[in-house]
Amino acid sequence: MTEGADEPRIGVVTEPFASRPLTDVMEWLLRAAPGVTDLEVGAGGYAPTTHCETPLLLRDASAREAWAAEIASRGLRVAALNVWGNPLHPDKSIARKHDADLRDAIRLAALLGVDRVVALAGCPPGARGDRTPHFAGGGWLPYLESIHELQWDEWVEPYWSDVAEFAMREHPQLLVCLELHPGTAVYNVETFDRIAALGDSIAANIDPSHFFWMGMDPLAVLSAIGDRVGHCHGKDVQFARPNLDVNGVLDRRWPHDPRTLPWNFAVVGRGRDAAWWKAFVSALQSESRVHTIAIEHEDPFVAAEQGIPEAADVLASAR
């Protein structure tokens, strides 16, 4: 985006309401959070698909038209399809399913005229023959050294080069927005820059909450990536100082018993104040290609029915 570009719209990741029909969720949004105009719906991978039956919508044009009409009739729009998963998983059955789901989501986005698909870069094994993924987040000890390079050469680069080409063929206007997420091969600016070089269809989905707990500055990340940022999640973090003092930010117990943890995801505005969010939204508008800030409710202490309208109000006042 450039200065003077349209301000980002406010959206919601519908996953917290996966047990409810999408029509019920939309009716609730119109009543409780009328500032929300956009939806980010799960379309495969680990994301629940109760709001978007991708195989049905791909094969049945009438079902696809009816689904889109239900959304449009309420003045809402689909900002993104979400297929967070691990297409690099060493379990081949998981990898095949998540890869197929990602490609199907790209095909469906083309049919729907949706120009954002949200995904994760994935986490491959640490070595050939491993049965579990290995997060190569650092080489602090000899047995951790060089794993990232092996993963990049063997799995990450070949796979995402192919997906980037596939996306460009299927839907040239689409951005596959990879969330910078610990536990995957892409979690900061350095790792994103490396994967973004594989194709123009690869972009970033930034969620400031992950940067908060990793000690990063979301504004600096946004400035560094610039117009390769294509989508944004709205989520905050609150730190519990007594727990943080003794266990630091790396805690194997997450997400169990949130009262014991050094940090937790929080409703937008409960970690950083309104002034911070205003600066962040302004930076999104001037520096990125973000169309939508999709509220992703994961606060363990606040019900989604309370947290989403609260977050929407904070974001609305920040625009």
Question: pLDDT (tens digit, 9 = 90+) per residue, 113-160?
Answer: 999 999 999 999 999 999 999 999 999 999 999 999 999 999 999 999
Run of H or E residues at 118: strand 116-119
Which residue ranges in the chain fall short of pLDDT 70? 1-4
Say what the pLDDT of residue 254 is. Answer: 83
CA distance 81 to 44: 9
Say what the pLDDT of residue 256 is. Answer: 86
CA distance 287 to 5: 10
Domain boundaries, the chain: 9-318
Domain 9-318: assigned CATH number: 3.20.20.150
Nearest alpha carbon to residue 134 among 160, 117, 152: 152
Say what the pLDDT of residue 4 is. Answer: 44
CA distance 12 to 250: 28
Residue 182 · residue 137 · CB < 8 Å:
yes
- Rounded to whole angstroms, what are the CA distances from 289 to 83, 185, 275? 20, 23, 22
The full DSSP string for 145-175 is TTHHHHHIIIIIHHHHHHHHHHHHHH-TT-E
- Nearest-5° Cα angle at 177, 174 to 180: 170
Kindly report the pTM of this predicted structure.
Answer: 0.96
Say what the pLDDT of residue 243 is. Answer: 96
Collect all residues with Cβ–Cβ distance below 8 Å to 10 and sequence separation of at least 6.
35, 36, 37, 38, 234, 292, 293, 295, 312, 315, 316
Say what the pLDDT of residue 201 is. Answer: 98
